[in-house]
Amino acid sequence: MGMENLITSITRGGTVWVPQFAVALNEEKCIGCGRCFKVCPRDVLEIVQRAIDDVDLDDDDDDEDDGDNSYMRLANPMDCIGCEACSRVCPKKCFTHAPQPLAA
């Protein structure tokens, strides 16, 4: 698939670039820190409470975020603008991004 078949954008300076849209979020790796939620400019994410049975309160991995019982979910992925701010702030590298084809 060539760049002509992908959604592209343009910078203020006139440079064409290919946005990388959030297409997946690994909820199992997510520690619920909320950093991605805070930087997302488009309300793409939501905070979800884990069921108490899903929380491992003694996982011995020495994370400072142990005991957090929430995680992030892609609530409105079609609102993603492809800025990748969420990935840049995610300490657990939970996001998968990809270019998207132009709508037919």
Per-residue confidence band for 53, with pLDDT thresholds at 50, 70 and 90: low
At 51 the pLDDT is 84
User: pTM of whole model > 0.75?
Assistant: yes
Integer Cα distance of 22 and 95 in angstroms = 7
Write out pLDDT tens, residues 56-75. 555 555 544 445 699 999 99
Q: pLDDT value at position 20?
A: 98
Q: How confident is the model at residue 103 (pLDDT cuts 50, 70, 90)?
A: confident
Instruction: Give the residue carrying structure tokens 């939970």.
Output: 94
Mean pLDDT computed over 39-59: 80
> Amino acid identity of 68?
D
| Segment 20-33 mean pLDDT | 97
Looking at the structure, give the CATH architecture of the domain made up of residues 23-56+64-97: 2-Layer Sandwich (3.30)
Model confidence at 97, pLDDT cuts 50, 70, 90, reads very high
Cα 22–Cα 25–Cα 31 angle in degrees, nearest 5: 130
Residue with tokens 């309300």: 43
User: Which residue(s) pair with 52 in the sheet?
Assistant: none
